[in-house]
């Protein structure tokens, strides 16, 4: 049971990335792009149908609405376009991750935060 849920979650994650790629494809119909934008907007919006601070129900709406939205968008995208972008997503997931790039980005963010803190300290304390 848990194995099936993990597989389903992987498929949803892959399809979410494939939808992002398909939304930029000119062969994708405008209404599929509009629904993809609405699903992404709902996922990123701080406003939910049921607020997240309500125990169980707060996260349950996200667990139901977002996968259903992703499935609906996949159904609206032409199968050949979706298959092409699923393959591209699978290849992108297999690419190695550069730990050097991760470290460089981390240090850039840390330096930026320290610079902002120092400038804020100089501005407000001095």
- If phi > 0 it is left, if psi is from -120 to 50 it is alpha, else beta; for residue 77 that is beta
Cα(first)–Cα(last) distance of the chain, in Å? Answer: 61
Q: What is the pTM of this model?
A: 0.63
Q: At what angle do helices 2-23 and 30-44 cross, to 10 degrees?
A: 120
10-residue averages of pLDDT along the chain (126 residues): 82 85 92 90 78 79 84 93 91 81 94 96 87
Q: What is the pLDDT of residue 108?
A: 96
DSSP element (H, E) containing 45: none
């Amino acid at each position: 049971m848990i194995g099936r849920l993990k597989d389903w979650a992987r498929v949803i994650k892959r399809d979410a990335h494939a939808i992002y790629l398909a939304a930029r494809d000119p062969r994708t119909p405008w209404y599929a792009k509009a629904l993809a934008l609405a699903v992404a907007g709902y996922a990123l919006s701080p406003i939910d149908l049921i607020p997240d601070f309500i125990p169980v129900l707060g996260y349950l709406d996200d667990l139901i609405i977002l996968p259903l939205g992703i499935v609906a968008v996949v159904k609206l995208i032409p199968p050949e376009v979706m298959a092409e972008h699923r393959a591209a997503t699978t290849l992108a997931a297999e690419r190695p991750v550069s730990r050097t790039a991760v470290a460089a980005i981390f240090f850039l963010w840390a330096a930026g935060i320290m610079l902002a803190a120092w400038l804020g300290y100089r501005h407000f304390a001095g």
